[in-house]
Amino acid sequence: METDDVSVREQLFHNRVRETIICVLLFTCLYMVSYLILTHFKKTAEFVTDDIEDATVNKIALWLCTFTLSVAVCAVLLLPISILSNEVLLTFPQSYYMQWLNGSLIHGLWNLVFLFSNLSLVFLMPFAYFFTESEGFAGSRKGVMARVYEAVVLLLLLALLVLGIVWVASALLHDNIARKSLYDLWEYYLPYLYSGISLFGVLLLLLCTPFGLSRMFSVTGSLMVKPRLLEDVEDILSCTTFEEDSLSRKLNCSSTTSCWVKLNMEGMKKEYQTVRSKRIALEMRRKASPWQRNLGYPLAMLVLLALTVMCVLMVCFNVLELLLDETAMPRGMEDPHLGMASFSMFGSLGAAVQVVLILYLMVSSVVGFYSSPLFTGLLPHAQDTNLTQIIGNCVSLLILSSALPVFSRTIGITRFDLLGDFGRYNWLGNFYIVFLYNMLFAGLTSASLIKTVTWAVQRELIRAFGLHRLPLTVSRSTVPFRLLLASGLSKIQ
């Protein structure tokens, strides 16, 4: 009997060590990828300066930003890893090489992401911002530690302010919980704060994702070679070459004469580099093969349209399930029971589609976030993004990614229930919030898609038939269909 107890304890110990090693390896890989991404966008001048103190502070802040970005990437991969792990265990139930893939590992990964995401949002990112902006208290000895002391004091004051605001909000909405939270901070107060952060992230996804789904068509179209009917590469290339030559002459003039006083050299150099890179990209697009030109663009547009329509249909089906079946409500679970049954009625194919849709929604939300007028200033640029912008981008991406599992389960993209503390949010059990959220998402996405498709078709037809050269006094909507047809036939001939 004692031998059996020892063997069980050894097995538990080995399982815990194995899970720890897997999590460390996964996070290390994500950390290295995140560091390469931030290094590509950071402004090098901030890290190579004569002031060693500023360079050290910026490097520490960059490490904290790298940690936050790696947590954000891991949060994006939570649901895809969980869904694919379940399908792998269903396909190879007795495989010796798949014993490391179990429910305990997935559950622990969800708990770690939840812990690190809240740690980064509440402590690490505010500390990184205060650390870069601080100079030390007046009268204190200058140095890195003086900045650390000031940043810690500011962080404590901010924490007290946020806790006070959330306590007042809880007192107005739930008086009993507010009274208990004074005595039991961990049990009542922090979950209420986490629920507010998650609700904010899900609402931000509600605003950004429909707009991003509509913007994906134009963003993808700008990266691909369009057919000659929709785009005249030669005309655009000649205009870009002329613009590049003009900027080059202005730069030569400003460097040889006194007119440099009237010209913004730095801005003109950046504009010149942008135009030059655009010309190089156009030359590469001109060399594209007919298959890439005439088949790649239509296929990409059809794939985007199919994915978007599929998302809308799944949300509409989830709305019907919410009205008829209580199990459609998002909820948490303690044991994922991997390898028991597929989380899609279509089996492995449906699970693969779910993974693709989840990643597609995340990319669309990021595109919509950076395309919105409120957050356009946060858009990073290669080798020209200051540290404050990097901190803002990391916080924004972490908010979006940490809300992605709740968002995907709420709108019915997957039936994989939320694990750990992700399923303990207070608002998840409110039927009216979940139902209204699904209706708003379906309505906003449908409206954005219809508007984007109709306007895109009209714009491309006008450009293809050359009607964009008409005078501004002529209304293009009054152009008769016979003129459109005649212009099209003459252009084809």
pLDDT tens digit string along 351-402? 888 999 999 999 999 999 998 888 888 888 888 788 889 999 999 999 999 8
DSSP 140-204: SPPSHHHHHHHHHHHHHHHHHHHHHHHHHHHHHH-HHHHHHHTT-IIIIIHHHHHHHHHHHHHHH
CB-count exposure of residue 60 (10 Å: 0-12, 13-18, 19+): middle
Q: Residue 119: helix, strand or coil by DSSP?
A: helix
pLDDT tens digit string along 301-311? 888 888 888 88
Give the per-residue pLDDT at 469: 56
Give the per-residue pLDDT at 262: 46
Task: Outline where DSSP puts E strands in 264-341.
Answer: 332-333
- The residues near 113 (Cβ < 8 Å, ≥ 6 apart) are 71, 74, 75, 78, 402
Degrees, nearest 5: CA angle 92-93-98: 65
Degrees, nearest 5: CA angle 465-468-474: 110
Phi, psi values for residue 332, rounded to 5°: -100, 160
Phi, psi values for residue 263, rounded to 5°: -115, 145
Alpha-carbon gap, residue 81 to 56, rounded angstroms: 37
| CA quadruple 447, 449, 452, 454: dihedral sign | negative
C-alpha dihedral (189, 194, 195, 201), degrees to nearest 10? 160
* CA nearest to 55, candidates 65, 45, 41, 40: 45
Contact 225, 285 (CB under 8 A): yes
Alpha-carbon gap, residue 488 to 483, rounded angstroms: 8
3-state helix, strand, coil in the chain (%, to 5): 80, 0, 20
What type of residue is 163?
L
| CA quadruple 404, 406, 408, 410: dihedral sign | negative
H/E segment holding residue 419: strand 418-419
- The residues near 120 (Cβ < 8 Å, ≥ 6 apart) are 64, 67, 68, 71, 394, 398
Give the per-residue pLDDT at 285: 64
Give the per-residue pLDDT at 289: 66
Give the per-residue pLDDT at 254: 57
Alpha-carbon gap, residue 465 to 400, rounded angstroms: 41
Alpha-carbon gap, residue 144 to 53, rounded angstroms: 6
| CA quadruple 236, 238, 244, 247: dihedral sign | negative
Q: Flag residues of the chain having pLDDT under 50.
A: 1, 257-263, 472-485, 489, 491-493
Contact 136, 150 (CB under 8 A): yes
Q: Residue 473: helix, strand or coil by DSSP?
A: coil
What type of residue is 341?
A
